[in-house]
A and B are shown apart, each in its own frame.
Chain A
Amino acid sequence: MSEKPSEKEGDVARRIADAVHEAGISLVASLPDGWIATLIRTFDADARFRHVAVNREESAIGLCSGAYFGGVGALALMGASGLMTCVYAISKINYTYQVPCLIFITMRGDFGDTAKFHVSNGLYLRPLMGSIDLPYTVVESAGQIAGIKRAWVHAKTYARPVVVGFTRDVLRGSA
């Protein structure tokens, strides 16, 4: 049974979609996390994007990396756990060939997340990103959403993926 999203959550999802569009992104590959279900549906319903529901997060990395060579701005959207499964794809494809990619994740396991099964993300997500020198920024308030374009520019400048993490409060429209 799906929980009905609040109006605020929908508003935030639309703001994120607008910022992604303004960044020049037109392809979105996603695998869900409960926190981003509304955001995924927003991308799926938005004619400005080609949304692809992928079978696993690594497929999103592969698809978005190829899109770069097709001249298409692409976003891989996933949960924190999904990113944890992508170390192979990122370090082998994106690092070996220096391919930029924009990745959105949930900041699962951070303060305020009461899910016991995400404690591992709280413990290891940030250290993992740091250990492979994966640049990331965390959006902690709605006012930071407009800065998404900078993350994509940063990825292209560095020629490697950049991760944008979203807190639960931002995604639910309360921050």
Chain B
Amino acid sequence: MTLADCFAFLIRQWRDEIVVTSAGNASEMWWHLTRETDRVFYLDASMSLASMFASGIAVGLPAHTVWAFSGDGAFCMNPGMLMVERQMALPNLKHFLVSNRTYGSTHDVALSNAADNDYVQIARGMGLSRVFAFDNMNALATGFEAAVRSPGHAFVVLEVEALGHTMPAPPMDGPELKFRFGRHLERIGGIRIFDSLD
């Protein structure tokens, strides 16, 4: 399936979930399709930490579901993130691994051992039980509810075609993103992020 089709489907299912996207194609495509400025943290500046960042949010906002997107290039830099996720077992965290088997944001440069990396088995080997994988739109449409709407942490591998080209990154500087996203979380979560220095 194409990344555009896959994300377009997910965006149609998107309700009030908090979204964190990782560097590269995930951030670029989500921005391209939504132009969303408040409900998404485009963690474009860092690879391999989107799910950890999302986990921190999920700890503070247990009544809200957080969708975290990692690219497989980022995942391969820090697969041990799944150990931490398994240990934390946050029921409101859904971690999507966008597997295009390349470094998509750097002109599809080859990813180490790309053809043989079995992300589902890696996740299961770290003790995760709610692991799902989809490589076509029909399967994703059929399996989405069970994978993503059911209670409990989930790790969802999305096997997509390499994009073949780069896309513009969300045109926001870091502080703008921080305050837009943070103010959104303050509103929906009833929390204070910025105003307390005590």
**Which residues of A are at the interface with B, using a C-beta cutoff of 8 A?**
24, 27, 50, 52-56, 58-59, 61-72, 74, 88-89, 92-93, 95-99, 153, 156-157
Contact = CB atoms under 8 A, between A and B. Distances in A.
Interface string B168-198: 0000001101100110011001011100111
Contacts of A153: 197-198
A33 B52 CA distance: 21
Contacts of A66: 20, 52-59
Contacts of B88: 52
B83 A72 contact: no
Contacts of B60: 67, 69-72
Nearest to B62: A70
Interface stretch (B24-32, B43-51, B153-161): B43-51
Contacts of A156: 196-197
Contacts of A65: 49, 53, 56
A62 to B, nearest CB: 3
A59 B57 contact: no
A59 B80 contact: yes
A59 B87 CA distance: 13
Residue among B20, B55, B182, B192 facing the most chain A CB atoms (10 A cut-off): B55
B197 A69 contact: no
Given A59-B80, A63-B84, A97-B175, A68 B45 contact: no
Contacts of B61: 70-71
A28 to B, nearest CB: 12
A54 B88 CA distance: 10
B84 A72 contact: no
Interface of B: 20, 41, 43, 45-46, 48-50, 52-61, 78, 80-81, 83-84, 87-88, 174-175, 177-178, 181-182, 185-186, 189, 191-193, 196-198
Given A69-B60, A98-B175, A89 B49 contact: yes
B56 A58 contact: no
A67 B52 CA distance: 9
B188 to A, nearest CB: 11
Contacts of A99: 178
A70 B49 contact: no
Given A69-B56, A97-B178, A157-B197, A62 B80 contact: no
Given A56-B78, A153-B198, A62 B49 contact: yes
B78 A55 contact: yes
Contact of A93 (B53, B59, B78, B186): B53
Contacts of B78: 55-56, 58-59
B46 A93 contact: yes
Contacts of B56: 27, 62-70, 72, 74
Given A70-B59, A92-B45, 9 more contacts: A27-B56, A27-B59, A63-B53, A63-B84, A65-B56, A66-B57, A71-B186, A97-B178, A153-B198
Contact of B49 (A50, A72, A93, A98): A93
B181 A55 contact: no
A153 B53 CA distance: 21
Most chain B CB within 10 A, of A24, A27, A62, A93, is at: A62
Contacts of A97: 45, 174-175, 177-178
Contacts of B84: 52-55, 59, 63
